[in-house]
Amino acid sequence: MQKLCTKCNFIGKGKHGLFSGNIYFGIFEVLVAVGILVYGGNYLQSSAYAAVVAAIVAIAGSINIIDSFSDGRLCPSCSKDNLIPLDSLQAEKIIQEKNLTLPEDTET
């Protein structure tokens, strides 16, 4: 879905930050969680503690993997978190006030 940046008036799709929505980082986190689960009992104080830490890291990795399939929240032009959907009332008001032109391939 196309979005409008309220800061720089960019119209297009958002991008993800370095760690948010990065599928490779999410896979890495899940692999670290498996490593903690397998080897953590030896290095941490107990296997139960290792299981809790591994679960937390695995959940964070899973969220990153799922988030990588959604639209980004950052503007590719100014890197600010000011994107709003094009079909919102606020976007329509900004488009009319600033006389912006919509790209031909807008998906709503």
What pLDDT is stored for residue 104 in this prediction? 73
| Three-state DSSP class for residue 36 | helix
**Which tokens in the block code for residue 42?**
């030896």
Instruction: Give which of 1, 2, 15 is closest to 78, Cα–Cα.
Output: 15
Per-position DSSP letters for 59-95, written without gaps between them: HHHHHHHHHTTSPPSB-TTT--S-EEETTSHHHHHHH
Query: pLDDT tens for residues 2-36?
Result: 899 988 988 888 888 776 777 889 999 999 999 99
Percent of the chain with pLDDT over 90: 24
What pLDDT is stored for residue 105 in this prediction? 64
Q: Are the C-beta atoms of 33 and 65 separated by less than 8 Å?
A: no
Higher pLDDT, 32 or 96: 32
